């Protein structure tokens, strides 16, 4: 397995409403606000480009930033999507967070069903359809569409990505073949939720995932069974941050594309935002947040 290269990561604020401390995450609606894109002028604008859409101007601005960047510096745009509501989210609401964390989350389920590798509810599917409609709307305004797609191996994320992107009128969605991001022999570079104890975060066997999502791509080291989930130990926020930092470094070391989609979990996205220096911005289930990341450091040479 390739050892992850370490980069210096930071975020570039001032482009999206989610960057602004005055934007309330509890009431913000990404689908009704063009994913949060701020209507403003950029240094890349010309007289001829003033009539272009804001997304077209944004795309040129990212191109300008990369074109004028110092050596070993690049800019990436991450579209971070949280999975839709899962049956485990409903169970936590049913019992309350304290009882959920201390007792119910350690079980496989209750009288209403199982939440091991939790599935989407009807509400969760509807939230993924909302994300799909949001992308469809923004495509008409020339949003820069993802050039790479990554997804957590947990079923709720695979299903959210499927409903959102499959056969959408965008590049790389016909067919939709995201990379399931879990290089798990060393337990790092995982696009997964906080690890351990909670059975909703124990993934299904690779064969089950492959049967339900036959077009999805597995990394070479993906194991049949989940060798990483630990029934007795819950990952700390600090360790989760380290893991998600390693994930980003792994992607940035190997992926030359600028616009990247990651479908993941609330904890994973919280850590991604933290390690790039973005303000805390909890996403509702099914929510999406775009983030500009400045990547500084030498990339490994190809062998």
Range of the structural domain that residue 25 is part of: 8-86+117-296
Model confidence pLDDT, tens digit, residues 252-268:
999 999 999 999 999 99
105 located within any domain: no
Q: Taking 90 as the threshold, does the pLDDT of residue 6 lie above it? A: no
169 located within any domain: yes
* Cα gap 127→131, rounded to integer Å: 6
Of 83, 198, 265, 278, catalytic: 83
Please compute the mean of the pLDDT values over residues 132-157 and round it to a whole number.
98
Model confidence pLDDT, tens digit, residues 200-213:
999 999 999 999 99
291 located within any domain: yes
Write down the pTM of the prediction.
0.95
99 located within any domain: no
* pLDDT, the chain, mean: 94
40 located within any domain: yes
Model confidence pLDDT, tens digit, residues 186-238:
555 689 999 999 999 999 999 999 999 999 999 888 999 998 899 999 999 99
C-alpha pair distances (Å), 289 with each of 35, 62, 260, 292: 7, 17, 12, 10
Report which secondary-structure segment, H or E, holds 180: strand 179-180
Catalytic site includes residue 51: no
19 located within any domain: yes
Of 61, 193, 197, 235, catalytic: 193
47 located within any domain: yes
Please tell me the total count of domains within the chain.
1
- CATH number of the domain that 200 lies in? 3.40.50.1240
Catalytic site includes residue 193: yes
Identify the pLDDT of residue 301: 61
3-state secondary structure 67-104: HCCCCCEEEEEEEEEECCCEHHHHHHHHHCHHHHHHCH
180 beta partners: 151, 218
109 located within any domain: no
Structure token digits, residue 249: 């470094």
The residue among 185 and 294 whose pLDDT is bigger is 294
């Amino acid at each position: 397995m390739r050892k992850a290269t370490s980069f210096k990561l930071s975020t570039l604020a001032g482009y999206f409403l989610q960057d602004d401390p005055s934007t309330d995450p509890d009431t913000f609606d990404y689908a009704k606000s063009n994913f949060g894109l701020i209507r403003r002028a950029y240094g890349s604008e010309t007289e001829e480009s003033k009539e272009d859409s804001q997304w077209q101007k944004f795309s040129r601005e990212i191109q300008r930033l990369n074109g004028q960047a110092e050596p070993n510096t690049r800019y990436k745009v991450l579209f971070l999507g949280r999975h839709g509501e899962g049956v485990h989210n409903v169970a936590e609401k049913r019992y309350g967070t304290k009882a959920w964390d201390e007792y119910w989350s350690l079980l496989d389920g209750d009288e209403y069903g199982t939440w091991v590798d939790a599935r989407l509810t009807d509400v969760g599917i509807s939230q993924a359809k909302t994300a799909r409609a949001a992308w469809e709307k923004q495509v008409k305004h020339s949003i820069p569409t993802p050039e790479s797609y990554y997804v957590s191996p947990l079923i709720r994320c695979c299903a959210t990505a499927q409903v959102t992107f499959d056969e959408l009128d965008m590049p790389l969605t016909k067919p939709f073949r995201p990379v399931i991001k879990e290089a798990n022999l060393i337990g790092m570079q995982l696009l997964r939720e906080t690890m351990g104890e909670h059975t909703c975060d124990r993934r299904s066997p690779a064969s089950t995932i492959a049967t339900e999502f036959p077009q999805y791509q597995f990394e070479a080291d993906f194991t049949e069974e989940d060798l990483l989930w630990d029934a007795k130990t819950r990952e700390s926020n600090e360790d989760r941050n380290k893991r998600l930092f390693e994930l980003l470094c792994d992607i940035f070391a190997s992926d030359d594309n600028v616009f990247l989609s990651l479908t993941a979990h609330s904890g994973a996205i919280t850590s991604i935002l933290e390690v790039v220096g973005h303000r805390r911005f909890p996403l509702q289930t099914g929510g999406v947040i775009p983030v500009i990341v400045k990547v500084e450091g030498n990339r490994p040479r190809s062998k």
